[in-house]
A and B are shown apart, each in its own frame.
Chain A
Amino acid sequence: MAKHPGLTPPRGSWHGILGAYVVGLAAGGKAERFAFALGDGTVHLATFTDPEAPDRTKVEAHHGGALCIAALTNSDGFVSGGDDGKLVRISPKGEMALLHDARNKWVETVATSSGLIAASVGKTVLLFDEKGQQKAEWGYPSTVSGLTFDPKGKRLIASHYNGATVRFVAAKTDSPRLLEWKGSHLGVAVSPDGGVVVTSMQENALHGWRLVDGQHMRMSGYPSKSRSLSFTRTGKWLATSGAEPIVLWPFTGGGPMGKEPTELDAGNPGAFCTAVASNPAADLVASGFADGAVSVADIDTKRAIRLRASDKDPISALAWSPTGRTLAYGTEGGAVGGFSF
């Protein structure tokens, strides 16, 4: 594949209106394909073969609202969870298969890796293969708020009250490791080398653990909750939302302990950053803002290109395709779009 062009204006873009809160956004497969999960329960697939006119399919995935979405990793397609208690696999053509029905409970988070699907229902996490075969079920001390696999797909990390739990998914004897820190942890991210776990917290702060020695990391100073976390492809930086600039914590040379974060201005004064997404192929970070602006910035030069103008509709979701050639966004008001580079 050709080298990523780096920071350039998009060669094409598309914008559409889906009409309900964009709750989640995932990208997967070899095609430039995205799935937008909406507050009205629908999931919309868009494949950007033509940057100006993506192929689109609407799927009535959930009766109620969708809550989470992730891309499958061994096959093409997506998996979504909803407040109707359903965990649904969606093919690229929009065909649905029910993987699990939690009935009265919500399927609040889902994560995928190496042919596995993990989904949380309250204090329980269920593990499936992509065919829908259940492989495991684990209980947690309190409701699971975030799920992620380490990059190799060996360990599953869940955030919950008073910390996060790391466990090996294929272990013969289950020996979960509790990473403890008092308070409510709302979401979780893991570094590309699998060595650092970071959670976002109720108190406008992040908390991190270096797994090798259990070293704690506290990252605070945000004026609002930092809900969107994205490690850059090399793991050098953790890009975060929650302030006016994009806040980038350094994870090299012993950081982030004792180091100031780098701030990258890519939005408008007065509008907090609400979503970040690190490019998987270049040192670029995309950002969305509470005023609806979307930008892409080069971390080294700190240069930013504005992709979407402010329209007062907060950006709620942002994702790159696996090639890093397409960036998609969704808003609270139900607007969506994509930029092809």
Chain B
Amino acid sequence: MQATVKPIPVTVLTGYLGAGKTTLLNRILSEDHGHRFAVIVNEFGELGIDNDLVVNADEEVFEMNNGCICCTVRGDLIRIVGSLLKRRGQFDAIIVETTGVANPAPVAQSFLVDEMLRERTTLDAIVTVVDAKHLPLRLEDSAEAEGQLAFADVIVLNKTDLVSEDELTALEARIRTINALAPIHRAQRGNVALSDILDKSAFSLEKTLEKHGDFLDAAAHEHTEHVTSISLSVDAPLIRSKFEAWIGAILAEQGGNLLRTKGILNFQGEDKRFAFQAVHMIADGDHIGPWPEGSAKQSRLVFIGRDLNRPQLRRGFESCTVRA
């Protein structure tokens, strides 16, 4: 019933202290890309750009009273984005910069849980900037660094000039064990192509699943205390009610360990592809258009999290098909 307005895309910029977030943000704001951004930052003054629409946020995280212990949201974001949306016409995209130690889950969950944000914005991508030189150390001493990689839709591997090619290759392999889906872009002083980090929503999920769907499952390594990715696929169509019951139970039981779940699904009796995604226990999904001509209509599902039981998840996923 609300007036239909095109949802505003939101890019979340995350990364450990010193990884190069601010440099990248300054580049985004100074380059000509046809967007007028509103920017929500955690610290004023670092930005070299004079922009009317820079807002200081306080990262106020709180738990929702919805019986879900891992459902935390950023109250300040909900409030600030809500107010920004009333300045309609003054900007056409939003960037949210998080603090270095921030867990991206509350940011992502804010856009899934809050009615107004869900209706009027669309989470375009979580972009995680990591420092090639210091990433190995960060992964040892901080759970946040691992979480930020796990949540990423796009990873910018920055400061590549400070390490050797061999080190970079090893680093990329290490990142792949945590997040097998997100494309990794090498950069120096944040010189990544803006087309690699902006306007990704339209088909990023589909593209990344196509491109990286056959990655080697890192869960085979059994580092269960660390974040890993596993990918599942089935050829037979899924029965929607069965899938919903199964994934609902999985998210309810294991949502604390499941950081992100993404899938492109083929439901029996539905022509269009269904894009599914969840952040911890909070799920969201929508039809995203027909299957490409001549494609196999294979359903793919990717879990990124801790303590993933691949055989159990695979059996569960397979039990949702018409052949089960």
Interface residues of A (CB under 8 A from B): 20-21, 23, 39-40, 63-65, 67, 83, 104-106, 108, 122-123, 142-143, 145, 161-162, 182-184, 186, 201-203, 224-225, 270-272, 290-291, 312-314, 332-333
Contact = CB atoms under 8 A, between A and B. Distances in A.
16 contacts: A21-B86, A23-B83, A65-B83, A65-B87, A83-B83, A106-B55, A122-B58, A123-B58, A143-B60, A143-B79, A183-B63, A183-B65, A202-B78, A225-B116, A270-B1, A313-B3
B282 to A, nearest CB: 14
Contacts of B3: 312-314, 332-333
Given A104-B56, A183-B62, A202-B114, A23 B1 contact: no
A39 B86 CA distance: 5
B221 interface: no
A271 B1 contact: yes
A313 B1 CA distance: 9
B31 interface: no
A253 to B, nearest CB: 28
B2 interface: yes
A312 B1 CA distance: 7
B323 interface: no
A106 to B, nearest CB: 7
A314 B87 CA distance: 15
Contacts of B63: 182-183
B17 to A, nearest CB: 21
Nearest to A333: B3
B55 A143 contact: no
Interface string B51-62: 011011010101
Contacts of B73: 184, 202
B75 A143 contact: yes
Given A63-B52, A65-B86, A182-B65, A145 B2 contact: no
B83 A106 contact: yes
A161 B66 CA distance: 16
B88 interface: yes
A295 to B, nearest CB: 16
Main SS at interface, chain A:
loop
Interface in B61-96: 62-66, 73, 75-76, 78-80, 83-84, 86-90
Nearest to A314: B2
Interface of B: 1-3, 44, 52-53, 55-56, 58, 60, 62-66, 73, 75-76, 78-80, 83-84, 86-90, 114-116
Contacts of B2: 290, 314
Contacts of B62: 161-162, 183-184
A156 to B, nearest CB: 20
B115 A225 contact: yes
Nearest to A38: B86
Among B60, B65, B80: residue with most chain A CB under 10 A: B65
A21 to B, nearest CB: 4
A272 B78 CA distance: 20
Contact of A161 (B44, B75, B87, B116): B75
Contacts of A224: 115
A39 B1 contact: no
A337 to B, nearest CB: 17
A286 to B, nearest CB: 19
Given A182-B65, A224-B115, 10 more contacts: A20-B89, A39-B86, A40-B90, A106-B80, A123-B58, A142-B58, A161-B75, A182-B63, A186-B79, A312-B1
A40 B62 CA distance: 31
A161 to B, nearest CB: 5
B87 A21 contact: yes
Contacts of A272: 1
B58 A39 contact: no
A203 B66 contact: yes
A244 B291 CA distance: 38
A63 B53 CA distance: 11
A23 B60 CA distance: 23
A252 B113 CA distance: 35
A186 B2 CA distance: 21
A333 B58 CA distance: 30
Contacts of B1: 270-272, 290-291, 312
A133 B266 CA distance: 66
Contacts of A64: 52-53, 87
Contacts of A83: 55, 83, 87
Nearest to A267: B1
Contacts of B53: 64
B177 to A, nearest CB: 36
Contacts of A183: 62-65
A40 B86 CA distance: 8
Nearest to A123: B58
A333 B87 CA distance: 11
Contacts of B89: 20
Contacts of A123: 58
